[in-house]
Amino acid sequence: MSQPESHESLLRITEIFYSLQGETRTAGLATVFIRLTGCPLRCGYCDTEYAFSGGERMPLEQILASTAKYNARYVTVTGGEPLAQKNCLSLLKSLCDQGYEVSIETSGALDISEIDARVSVVMDLKTPASGEESKNRIENLSVIKQQDQIKFVICDRNDYEWSKAQIDKHELTNRCEVLFSPVHGQQMARQLAEWILQDNLAVRFQLQLHKYLWDDEPGR
C-alpha cells in the first residue's frame, strides 16, 4: 500500500502552464508559470480572482515533473499570493536546485526574507487605488536585492504621484529596477508613458503583453 503524501510537500496549485512572460525584465521569453492558489489581498484591479480558491493539492515532486516537461529555462511562481503557502519556499529552492532561472511574483504583503537568494523577486508596492495600500510590508525593502524588481500598478494620476513619492522616500531606484505598469483598460498607457518622460523617471514602463496576445485567457 502506498504511503499518503506528507503535508510538508504539498501545495495547492491552480494551474501550471507554458507561455510568454508578459511582464518584468524577461518579458517575451518562454516561461513556465506555476500559479499557486489563495491570496489574502483583494486588489480592485485583480485579474486572477479564479486563483483565490479551489486548485489541486499536488506534491512537490509532481509539480517539478510537470514543470520539467516543457524543457524551459525560465520559471515564474505566481498566484494569487504564492507566499501565502508556506511550502512555496521549498518549491522555489527546488526549482533553483534544478537549474531554472526562477522568479516569484508577490504582493509585498508577506515576508520575503526567507526566499532563496537565487530567486528574482518581483514585488508590488500597492498603490492607494488598489485598495490594499495598508498591506504593504515596508520591512521587505531592507532585503530587496539588486536582481529583484519593485512594481507599481498605476490606476490614475494620484497613484502615479504616490509612486514617485515612494521612490524618493525609499531611494528605490538605488535598490533595484523599478517597474511602472498601467492598469489595463483603466489607466491610458500612453498617458502614463508621457508622465514618466516628463518627469524623467528612472523606471521601466511596461505593458502586460499577455493581455494583448490572449486577452487575459487563463492558462496563457
Residue 80: asked if its preceding bond is cis (omega within 30°), the reply is yes
User: Is residue 220 included in any domain, yes or no?
Assistant: no
Q: Which CATH number goes with the domain that contains 105?
A: 3.20.20.70
User: Is residue 2 included in any domain, yes or no?
Assistant: no
Structural domain total, the chain: 1
Write the DSSP string, 5-58.
Answer: PPGGGEEEEEEEEEEE--SSTTTTSEEEEEEE---S---TT-S-GGGSS--EEE
pLDDT at 1: 39
User: Is residue 1 included in any domain, yes or no?
Assistant: no
Instruction: Sort strands 10-20 and 30-36 into parallel, antiparallel or unpaired.
Output: antiparallel
State the residue range of the domain holding 86.
7-214
User: Is residue 219 included in any domain, yes or no?
Assistant: no
User: Is residue 168 included in any domain, yes or no?
Assistant: yes
pLDDT at 218: 59
Cβ proximity of 58 and 103 under 8 Å: no
User: Is residue 130 included in any domain, yes or no?
Assistant: yes
Q: What is the mean pLDDT of each run of 10 residues along the chain (220 residues)?
A: 57 97 93 97 92 96 98 97 97 98 97 98 97 97 97 98 98 97 92 98 91 67
Cα(54)–Cα(145) distance, rounded to whole angstroms?
33
